[in-house]
Amino acid sequence: MSIFDWQFFRGAIPTVLKDGLLNTLNLTIVTFIFACLIGLITALIKIYKIPVLYQISLVYVSFFRGTPLLVQILIFYYGLPTILNHYSTDYGWNVDISKIPPIIYMYVVFSLCYGAYISEVMRSAVLSVDKGQHEAAYTIGMSGPKVLSRIVFPQALSNALPNLGNYFVDIVKGTSLAFTATVVEILASAKIIGARDYRYFEAYLAAAVVYWVVCLIFEVLFRTVEKRSRKYERRPA
């Protein structure tokens, strides 16, 4: 058995792409969307210091930033079904918990975890919008929600984009932990084909290459979006 089997490696890449890429992208994009929503709502709760919700948000962010994602995954994947099962029989919901696909749990735990991180990005982005912009919007007769949606959010978003891009790449890599919950994403599919021929090294390397390329593509994508969103900061040619 040679140290490195090129042929296996080359064959592993398309297999990993075929079996794992879809789940990785799926989990990443769903997580990113919900994490941004959760992050924004949490940020607004913190900025406006809404009673009760404010205290809840402090505990929420502290917990999800203060514990490892892997531990959170295990808690949600093994703990949540037990609880759901209990209440499902108690209240006669008549739902078969075992039929819920594991990726659903992953949507929840990943969104909550990254939502906690992204809430800080959103908070600083919203606060970075100049006070004068709010005031000008009020003096033309805008209501509070309109000031946020028309004036503050568009500017905050373009301030937040570089950081959001970072977290997006972070989520791509973070999804590799979902294999512990039996979700077949890039890493899990590499593990499976590696186990078939005891070619773990080649298989994992193939997974690494795929992750790298995916991250590169999204980095370029985010940079392009960022440039476009900042067009108002440049002078026209």
Partner 1 sequence: MKDDFITIRGLKKSFGKNEILKGVDLDVKEGEKVIIMGSSGSGKSTLLRCMNRLETSDHGLMFFGERQIDLAHWLKKDIKYVRSNSSMVFQGYNLFKHMTVLENVMEGLVQCKGIKKLEAKDIAIHYLEKVGLSERLDYYPSALSGGQQQRGAIARALALQPKVVFFDEPTSALDPELVAEVLNVMEKIAEEGVTMIVVTHEVGFAKNIADRVVFMDRGYICEEGRPDQILRYPRNNRTKEFLNLIA
- The site for partner 1 (CB under 8 A) is made up of 130, 132-133, 135-143, 146, 150-151, 154-155, 158, 231-236
SS3 101: coil
- Beta carbon of residue 159, minimum distance to partner 1 (angstroms, whole number): 11
Q: Which is nearer to partner 1, 21 or 142 (CB)?
A: 142
- Beta carbon of residue 146, minimum distance to partner 1 (angstroms, whole number): 6
How many angstroms separate the first and last alpha carbons of the chain? 61
SS3 91: coil
- Beta carbon of residue 131, minimum distance to partner 1 (angstroms, whole number): 9
Please report which residue ranges of 91-199 form alpha helices under DSSP H: 102-127, 131-139, 144-146, 153-174, 186-197
> 164: burial class by Cβ within 10 Å (0-12, 13-18, 19+)?
buried
Element containing residue 151 per DSSP (H, E): none
Which residue bears the tokens 């994009």?
29
Q: Which is nearer to partner 1, 112 or 156 (CB)?
A: 156
- Beta carbon of residue 130, minimum distance to partner 1 (angstroms, whole number): 8
Q: Which is nearer to partner 1, 14 or 162 (CB)?
A: 162
Q: Which is nearer to partner 1, 130 or 197 (CB)?
A: 130
Q: Which is nearer to partner 1, 51 or 132 (CB)?
A: 132
- Beta carbon of residue 70, minimum distance to partner 1 (angstroms, whole number): 40
Q: What are the percentages of helix, strand and coil residues in the chain, rounded to 5?
A: 85, 0, 15
